[in-house]
Structure 1
């Protein structure tokens, strides 16, 4: 897998935080109202930094292995995509955006997590199962978070059930595709004598 420079995940984080700050503190932008951007301004950066912080603690600051910036970037990208979709008003302007977003974001997120977690998992089918299962659990957790932060008292309560089921299914499907991709990358890495 190609090396990604350290500044790529930093740039993704900064672009996400900048848009969240605009959504929270610039008044009069209707597309941001009622979507819990105050909570997102706190939660998104923390969630984006969780993978690098966990890796740093687990590997140690002085470990010889280079930081997996590509995996960190993949984990962070869904948050940028979500915020950018709101900034560009894609959720309201493009009917299929939310569905594509759930599939693609879970593919990105689970590919990043899979690259971090599954390097030594064998056989390949176990990688697929692990990444898909993790993605399904995260999709359920995401939908619970959406319900708690802005659906239960918002205007979307009437359509939330059907939307939630679709979002969970698309997220799990994205995780399944990520599982196959990670299994392929991990098996190539295991076959590469330079990685031994």
Structure 2
């Protein structure tokens, strides 16, 4: 079931990217760094398969980490869908929930795909998740600033939003680290997720 869900998520992402490219006004990405998203989102959604192929894991007899790949793909899909449905501009809390949920999903996927050695303690897993998530949240906010925030007429009001986004993204990453560390403790850690 996970492979089907993962492939459907990737297909939906491709469809939304094609729509954004063909009909930019319908995607609600105008003045929101659409060009950058058209490059970064496919790369983000392909990070796990590319890593899997380059590392030769498929030859080592391990199964592909479908759950991790789905978790890493969902934030990109959710962001595009949220923009397509104009949720970021019409639902006041959508941006905040998205930052928290997207970093939770992305960090959990990264921790499952690139898990530390099974002997690594839960505290280290939480710290790796927090370190990845906080760094990724900062890189994301810098990308938003470079792509479109600095050109907004409401630029003076963007700083508090950025601080909130960083806090929510980091909090989502912390929760992902705690969940993955707990999951590891509750079950036998497999060689491949």
Normalised to the residue count of structure 1, the TM-score between the two structures is 0.89
For 1:87-133, what per-residue CA distance to the aligned partner results, in whole angstroms no more than 9, with x for missing partners?
Answer: 11101111000000000010000000011122525111111111011
CA distance in 2, matches of 1:37, 1:155: 18
Larger displacement relative to structure 2 (39-48 or 96-105): 39-48
Indicate the residue corresponding to 2:105 in structure 1. 108
Indicate the residue corresponding to 1:148 in structure 2. 146
Aligned length: 191
Indicate the residue corresponding to 1:62 in structure 2. 59
Indicate the residue corresponding to 2:31 in structure 1. 34
RMSD over equivalenced CA pairs, Å = 2.1
Indicate the residue corresponding to 1:187 in structure 2. 185
Matching residue within 132, 135, 138 for 2:133: 135
Matching residue within 158, 161, 168 for 1:170: 168
**Is the contact made by 2:26 and 2:84 (CA closer than 8 Å) also made in structure 1?**
no
CA distance in 2, matches of 1:106, 1:141: 12
Matching residue within 48, 52, 55 for 2:49: 52
- The alpha-carbon deviation at position 86 of structure 1 amounts to 0.4
- The alpha-carbon deviation at position 156 of structure 1 amounts to 4.2
Indicate the residue corresponding to 1:14 in structure 2. 11
For 1:154-187, what per-residue CA distance to the aligned partner results, in whole angstroms no more than 9, with x for missing partners?
Answer: 3342222111110000000000110011102222
| Structure 1 gap ranges (5+) | none
| Structure 2 gap ranges (5+) | none
Distance change >3 Å, CA 13–CA 30, structure 1 → 2: closer
1:76 aligns with 2:73: yes
Indicate the residue corresponding to 1:4 in structure 2. 2
Normalised to the residue count of structure 2, the TM-score between the two structures is 0.90
For 1:137-169, what per-residue CA distance to the aligned partner results, in whole angstroms no more than 9, with x for missing partners?
Answer: 000000001011111223342222111110000
